[in-house]
C-alpha cells in the first residue's frame, strides 16, 4: 500500500504504508535515537506528533509491553526509512497508528531543520483520506487553525504556542 507525508508548506515525501490504514495529523518532529522506538511513541511528550526516526532501520528487535513508557501510544503517526521486523508493524497496526516506511527521512529531517517546525499529515493507503486532503478548504484538519492562518504559513504563531482554534490534546 502506498502512503506519504504532506508538510504544511506542500512538500510531499512518498513511502509505503506498514501500519494502520488512514490518515493522521500532527506536528512533524524527528528523533535521532538509535534505539527505543517503542519507548518513543508511548512517551507522553510526543502527544499529537508525527515522529520521524532518523535511524536507518526501526523495529529490528521487536516489541515488549514492559518497554512502553505509558499505557498507550501518544504519537499520531510513525515515519521510518526502513522497517526491520513485522512485530513492530503489527504492534502499530493493532493500535491504529499510521506508519510509513521507505520515506527519505534524511531529506525530511533536513527540510524540517532548514524550514522550522511544521504541521503535517501522514496518509497511509487511504484513498478517502487523500480525497479529503485534496478537497478540504485548508488542506488540513480544522485543528490547525483557520484557512487564512494556513495560507499565511502560520509557523511564527505556531512557535509561540497553539494557534487560535487549536484544540490541545
User: Can you name the residues that pair with 52 across neighbouring β-strands?
Assistant: 30, 79
Q: What is the count of structural domains for the chain?
A: 1
Average per-residue pLDDT for the chain: 81
Q: Kindly state the cell numbers that stand for 80.
A: 521510518
The string of pLDDT tens digits covering residues 25-76 is: 999 999 999 889 999 999 999 999 999 999 989 999 999 888 889 989 999 9
User: Is residue 76 assigned to a domain?
Assistant: yes
The string of pLDDT tens digits covering residues 6-16 is: 999 999 999 99
Sequential DSSP letters for 31-87? E--SS-HHHHHT-GGGTTEEEEE-SS-BSTT---GGG-SSSS---SEEE-S-B--HH
User: Is residue 154 assigned to a domain?
Assistant: no
pLDDT at position 68, please? 87
Residues 84/60, Cβ–Cβ less than 8 Å: yes
Domain containing residue 79: 2-144
What are the backbone angles phi and psi of residue 102, rounded to the nearest 5°? 80, 10
Q: Which of 97, 106, 45 is nearest to 76 (CA)?
A: 97
User: Is residue 161 assigned to a domain?
Assistant: no
pLDDT at position 19, please? 95
pTM of the entire predicted model: 0.76
CATH number of the domain to which 46 belongs: 3.50.30.20
Amino acid at each position: 500500500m502506498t502512503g506519504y507525508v504532506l508538510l504544511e508548506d506542500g512538500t510531499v515525501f512518498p513511502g509505503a504504508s506498514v501500519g494502520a490504514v488512514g490518515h493522521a495529523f500532527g506536528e512533524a518532529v524527528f528523533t535521532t535515537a538509535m534505539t527505543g522506538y517503542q519507548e518513543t511513541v508511548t512517551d507522553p511528550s510526543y502527544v499529537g506528533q508525527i515522529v520521524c526516526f532518523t535511524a536507518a532501520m526501526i523495529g529490528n528487535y521487536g516489541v515488549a509491553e514492559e518497554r512502553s513508557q505509558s499505557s498507550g501510544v501518544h504519537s499520531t503517526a510513525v515515519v521510518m526509512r526502513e522497517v526491520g521486523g513485522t512485530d513492530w508493524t503489527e504492534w502499530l497496526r493493532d493500535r491504529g497508528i499510521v506508519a510509513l516506511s521507505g520515506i527519505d527521512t534524511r531529506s525530511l529531517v533536513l527540510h524540517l531543520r532548514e524550514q522550522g517546525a511544521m504541521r503535517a499529515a501522514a496518509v497511509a493507503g487511504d484513498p478517502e483520506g487523500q480525497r479529503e486532503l485534496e478537497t478540504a478548504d485548508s488542506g488540513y484538519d480544522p485543528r490547525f487553525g483557520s484557512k487564512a492562518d494556513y495560507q499565511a504559513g502560520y509557523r511564527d504563531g505556531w512557535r509561540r504556542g497553539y494557534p487560535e482554534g487549536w484544540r490541545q490534546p
